[in-house]
Amino acid sequence: MPYAAPVSEFRYILDKVVGFDQVAATDLFGEATPDTVEAILTEAGRLCQDVLAPLNRSGDLDPAVLENGVVRTSKGFAEGFKAISEGGWIGISAPAEFGGMGLPHTLTTAFNDMISAACLSLGLNPLLSQGQIEALEAHAPDWMKELYLPRLISGEWTGTMNLTEPQAGSDVGALRSKAEPNGDGSYAVSGQKIFISWGDHDFGGNVCHLVLARLPDGAPGTRGISLFMVPKYIPNEDGSLGEANSLRVVSLEHKMGLHGSPTCVMEFSGAKGWLVGEEHKGMAAMFTMMNNARLGVGVQGIGAADGAYQHALAYALDRKQGATPVEGTGTIIDHADVRRMLLTMKADLFASRSIALACAVALDMAKATGKPEWAARAALLTPIAKAFGTDTGMRVSETGVQVHGGMGFIEETGAAQFSRDVRVTAIYEGTNGIQAMDLVARKMMDGGDAAFALLDEVEATAESARGTLDDLAEPVWQANETLREATEWLLGQGDMNVRFAGAVPYLSAFARVLGGHYHLKAAMEEGEDGPRRKLARFYVNRLLPDHVGLLAQAMVGSDDLYALTPEDMTA
């Protein structure tokens, strides 16, 4: 079925739910007027549904291949990327001085949601460039900004992120890649990196690799790592492409999904690179890109969920199978269990999308105002947005297969592709378990101030809804209090492993409560019998209660996890 960009949904969430008006009221983002936002969302939606969505199956059936050292991309992808770059969509939030639009990151987040629903494999490419643009803007020397940023923003060049090595997965500090000074301000970078999305392509231009490597005097672990710009072609002073650098694509990974996205094994053999940021401070520079990417990856999950939901809904409205006790359309959407699946998909899609956009608003407010409370809000919401967004993508796409019944297992329907493509999002940019541990550890180093500030807002919303929406307000208020008590318990645990043991259910419970909060806000802005109120009741009645069991798991401790020995497990 054709993808329909949910432009009106974005407008409603921005206007009524996550407070985008605060962003537009700042001096920095004063140009983000309602008319501008409407135009951006409408044109982005048109690109995604008319140009990019038709490429989705092509990427799956005609995957990227490596031929004689050259990566050949899926049919139509080069033209699709050209439409993205010529429309200026890579640089929505990039600095205007280098050719970007200078608009809020919230609008980039909405665009990334839509492009992920339309064609996730191709959408990975501009997402990586966006992250690299932000990292260079924050950490690169001026000459590098002037050379690279305009070309990355225009799409003439594309960016990658090179962290992972075969022996060092999430333990980045175990990397072996090295960088030796060349004596002229450049470095010879050597090593092998794996899982490099869009490490090469046949779109033309340059491929700009940000590579983590260790200088000769670099200390062991992450503290001794530096970051280098290592381009495929060494640019001339005027920006034209010079000689090929000493790097190559060794192979493409064989993946369960995202076949249109070339995931490369990269080898750097004394390749010329230039330092980004300070020596031995590479992780700080790379984390700028990774934090951008973590929200972006969460949004990839949400976009894939939207594509899967629209696909399943269209099938349910068309497929006739069996009789039901109710009068209706005569199709399977009349069945109670099919309704349950579709409404769960839609309710979680709204909850996860609202969390992601709220995170983006916090990022924009932090940038526009410099206030630390906004930065703390963004930091707190980032792991929740990433983990819950990608968990939602997996659940919704899997449910989409189930809605199709036996036909969901048949590749020709396209339902399975959403599930295969989105699966990796829960793994990369830090697995969802790592996100949860980050939430209960680093993000609670403020004594829980950022978390409690957010919970105070949830409580205030629930209080304001009393009298008009008691059936929604009271459960949200109660859930928020339970989460507050669990957070206080968590902060009282001196043994960090006790926190880690319950981190995943804690994060899921936090997301569940935030989902109730945002559904309630949406319902408060609508009339008595509006569809958003009905959807909010479904979420509060059927999904919000999950938080009780999740928080019970979060507070069990760690002893039971270690009660069985490895020998017991193999018995």
Instruction: Collect all residues with Cβ–Cβ distance below 8 Å to 323 and sequence separation of at least 6.
Output: none
* H or E stretch at 151: helix 142-154
Q: Could you tell me if 558 and 503 are in contact, meaning their C-beta atoms sit under 8 angstroms apart?
A: no
Among 130, 111, 88, 103, smallest CA distance to 29 is for 103
Q: Could you tell me if 125 and 198 are in contact, meaning their C-beta atoms sit under 8 angstroms apart?
A: yes
Instruction: Collect all residues with Cβ–Cβ distance below 8 Å to 437 and sequence separation of at least 6.
Output: 499, 500, 503
Kindly state the tokens that stand for 398.
């899997």
Instruction: Collect all residues with Cβ–Cβ distance below 8 Å to 142 and sequence separation of at least 6.
Output: none
Residue with tokens 């329907």: 413
Is 429 one of the catalytic residues?
yes
Q: Give the number of other CB atoms < 10 A from CB of residue 16.
A: 17
d(CA 503, CA 510): 10
Exposure of 67 by Cβ count < 10 A (0-12 exposed, 13-18 middle, 19+ buried)? exposed
Say whether 209 sits in a helix, a strand or coil.
strand
Among 313, 84, 109, 47, smallest CA distance to 203 is for 84
Q: For 246, how many CA atoms within 13 A lie in the half-sphere containing its CB?
A: 11
- Contacts by 66-72 with C-beta closer than 8 Å and gap 24+? 66/249, 66/251, 66/252, 66/262, 69/248, 69/249, 70/200, 70/202, 71/199, 71/200, 71/201, 71/202, 71/249, 71/252, 71/262, 71/264, 72/202
Sign of torsion over alpha carbons 296, 300, 301, 306:
positive
Say whether 423 sits in a helix, a strand or coil.
helix
Kindly state the tokens that stand for 14.
């921005």
Q: Could you tell me if 361 and 374 are in contact, meaning their C-beta atoms sit under 8 angstroms apart?
A: no
Say whether 437 sits in a helix, a strand or coil.
helix
Q: Could you tell me if 224 and 22 are in contact, meaning their C-beta atoms sit under 8 angstroms apart?
A: no
Q: Could you tell me if 421 and 547 are in contact, meaning their C-beta atoms sit under 8 angstroms apart?
A: no
Q: Could you tell me if 229 and 282 are in contact, meaning their C-beta atoms sit under 8 angstroms apart?
A: no
267, 429, 474, 526: the active-site residue:
429
Q: Give the number of other CB atoms < 10 A from CB of residue 485.
A: 12
Give the catalytic positions in this structure: 429
